[in-house]
């Protein structure tokens, strides 16, 4: 099957030539990025499926939320460049923007923050969930379980067809994720849970719930709170990545929003995705010193060695991940603030990046540092253990998941997602009794 493109100004179409017959497929043009060939009628017209494992050339939906230009290293949230939002905005403002499509007015922003603040506590009975986990359970295992269980407590925000219930579920998810995450951390270190404080900002409140203890006053360092807020902005959304696609697919069946977010958390956990920040720091610690870098670069280039440079490469970015630049800057700020400005791990990271960016293998394959390369060092300097890194990613990405889920539910053309396959298994055969096998 070959696809020949015949562009006609009035109506761009692609023609599929198959078995001597030509089938026209409309080409749709977005506001930014590649055009798409609409193949919705391909199977009924030609009896053929398309085949694209990993979806390297497949657009799964239409969206107005986030745009990425992988070749230019551009990331826009509702049209606003990520560096402007991260440098000049706040995470709560980015949440409003992703959910509603516009930056809030002062009054809208005040109302939104007040709404979120009023939902930061979790049902008191949820605290009992944690005691059912081993103390050494990975916090992502706890997050998958506890977030999914929210649907057992908040029955008044499960009807996805009721806009008000959708809004309440969205607010509760965004408001409660830091609380649930902080409780998972406290439980893992055997300390009592710290309740949210309504007079603190979103990120400062999260740091307080993680690092305060009941027996003394805890003052959140504003430099660290600002860094946390910026890290949340950087991780908030990223188009149709694996976990967002998981949330969309789960939501397309009509599953309640808490269950969909729990599915997204499960997918994010993977080391090829959100788990890469944890894996990247572990890798840097394993390398340990600058003189051992060449050995690991050699392994990363060896196709027979499963080792990959964690925090490097990206399905979409074939240029520097714009978030990685801001994360590197934030990393230096945090390390300076906590007095680890010359952390040997940072020196290893900087030298590894320098070597890799000048190595033909990485240049040819367009492998650049991604957001996870520097985030691990930064989060460790903020005081988090490695196994909490992906949990922090999940807190930030919750607003992206919710915004994408909301967009899908509100799309009148939305249907249950149900991909087909290329079947290469056994053809039909008859059952053989065990005596005859």
Is 340 a known active-site residue? no
CB neighbourhood size of 354 (10 A): 11
CB of 365 to ligand SDX, least distance (A): 4
Instruction: Considering the complex, state which of residue 37 and residue 394 has its C-beta at the smaller distance from ligand SDX.
Output: 394
CB of 117 to ligand SDX, least distance (A): 27
Exactly one of 229, 235, 314, 321 is catalytic; name it.
Answer: 314
Q: How far apart are CA 61 and CA 172, in angstroms?
A: 26
Please answer whether residues 174 and 261 qualify as being in contact, where contact means their C-beta atoms are separated by less than 8 angstroms.
no
Instruction: Considering the complex, state which of residue 251 and residue 313 has its C-beta at the smaller distance from ligand SDX.
Output: 313
CB neighbourhood size of 274 (10 A): 28
Residue nearest to ligand SDX (CB): 313
Closest C-alpha among 195, 186, 119 to residue 150:
119
Instruction: Describe the strand order of the beta sheet including 74-77 as a list of residue ranges.
Output: 66-69, 74-77, 80-81
Please answer whether residues 330 and 230 qualify as being in contact, where contact means their C-beta atoms are separated by less than 8 angstroms.
yes
For residue 360 the two structure tokens come to 């033909």
Place of tokens 């923007």: 97
For residue 62 the two structure tokens come to 């239409």
CB of 303 to ligand SDX, least distance (A): 6
Please report, as ranges, the residues that interact with ligand SDX according to CB under 6 A: 54, 238, 241, 272-274, 276, 300, 303, 308-316, 365, 367, 370-372
Please answer whether residues 99 and 399 qualify as being in contact, where contact means their C-beta atoms are separated by less than 8 angstroms.
yes
CB of 103 to ligand SDX, least distance (A): 22
CB of 369 to ligand SDX, least distance (A): 9
Q: How far apart are CA 299 and CA 268, in angstroms?
A: 26
Instruction: Considering the complex, state which of residue 119 and residue 318 has its C-beta at the smaller distance from ligand SDX.
Output: 318
Q: How far apart are CA 430 and CA 181, in angstroms?
A: 53
What SS3 class is residue 63? coil
CB of 248 to ligand SDX, least distance (A): 13
Instruction: Considering the complex, state which of residue 183 and residue 293 has its C-beta at the smaller distance from ligand SDX.
Output: 293
Is 161 a known active-site residue? no
Instruction: Considering the complex, state which of residue 179 and residue 277 has its C-beta at the smaller distance from ligand SDX.
Output: 277
For residue 64 the two structure tokens come to 């107005």
Please answer whether residues 70 and 314 qualify as being in contact, where contact means their C-beta atoms are separated by less than 8 angstroms.
yes
- Which residues, in sequence order, are CB contacts of 120 under 8 Å at separation 6+? 175, 176, 178, 179, 196, 198, 205
CB of 348 to ligand SDX, least distance (A): 16
For residue 41 the two structure tokens come to 């009628």
Instruction: Considering the complex, state which of residue 201 and residue 274 has its C-beta at the smaller distance from ligand SDX.
Output: 274
Please answer whether residues 243 and 274 qualify as being in contact, where contact means their C-beta atoms are separated by less than 8 angstroms.
yes
For residue 70 the two structure tokens come to 């992988």
Exactly one of 229, 321, 372, 387 is catalytic; name it.
Answer: 372
Q: How far apart are CA 301 and CA 292, in angstroms?
A: 15
Instruction: Considering the complex, state which of residue 104 and residue 274 has its C-beta at the smaller distance from ligand SDX.
Output: 274
Active site residue ranges: 314, 372
């Amino acid at each position: 099957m070959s696809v020949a493109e015949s562009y006609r100004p009035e109506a761009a179409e692609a023609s599929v030539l198959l078995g001597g017959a030509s089938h026209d497929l409309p080409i749709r043009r977005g506001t930014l990025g590649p055009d798409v060939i609409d193949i919705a009628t391909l199977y009924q017209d030609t009896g053929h499926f398309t085949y694209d494992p990993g979806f390297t050339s497949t657009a799964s939906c239409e969206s107005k939320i986030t745009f990425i230009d992988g070749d230019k290293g551009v990331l826009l949230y509702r049209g606003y460049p990520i560096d402007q939002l991260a440098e000049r905005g706040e995470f709560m403002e980015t949440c409003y923007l992703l959910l509603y499509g516009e930056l809030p007015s002062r009054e809208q922003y005040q109302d939104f923050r007040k709404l979120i603040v009023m939902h930061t506590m979790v049902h008191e009975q949820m605290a009992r969930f944690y005691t059912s986990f081993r103390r050494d359970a990975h916090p992502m295992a706890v997050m998958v379980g506890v977030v999914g269980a929210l649907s057992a407590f908040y029955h008044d925000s499960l009807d996805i067809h009721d806009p008000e219930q959708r809004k309440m579920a969205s607010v509760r998810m965004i408001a409660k994720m830091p609380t649930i995450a902080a409780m998972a951390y406290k439980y893992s270190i055997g300390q009592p849970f710290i309740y949210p404080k309504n007079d603190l900002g979103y990120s400062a409140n999260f740091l307080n719930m993680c690092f305060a203890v009941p027996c003394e006053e805890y003052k959140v360092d504003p430099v660290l709170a600002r860094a946390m807020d910026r890290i949340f902005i950087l991780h908030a959304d990223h188009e149709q990545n694996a976990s967002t696609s998981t949330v969309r697919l789960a939501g397309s069946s009509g599953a309640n929003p808490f269950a969909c977010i729990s599915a997204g958390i499960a997918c994010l956990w993977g080391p090829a995705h959100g788990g890469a920040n944890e894996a990247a720091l572990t890798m840097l610690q394993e390398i340990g010193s600058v003189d051992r870098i060449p050995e690991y670069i050699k392994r990363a280039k060896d196709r027979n060695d499963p080792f990959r440079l964690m925090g490097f490469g990206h399905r979409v970015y074939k240029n520097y991940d714009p978030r990685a630049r801001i994360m590197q800057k934030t990393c230096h700020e945090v390390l300076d603030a906590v007095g680890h400005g010359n952390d040997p791990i940072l020196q290893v990271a900087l030298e590894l990046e320098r070597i890799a960016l000048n190595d033909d293998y990485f240049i040819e394959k367009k492998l650049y540092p991604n957001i996870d390369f520097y985030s691990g060092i930064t989060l460790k300097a903020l005081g988090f253990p490695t196994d909490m890194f992906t949990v922090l990613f999940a807190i930030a990405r919750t607003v992206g998941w919710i915004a994408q889920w909301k967009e899908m539910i509100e799309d009148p053309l939305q249907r249950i997602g149900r991909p087909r396959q290329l079947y290469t298994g056994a053809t039909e055969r008859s059952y053989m009794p065990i005596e005859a096998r």
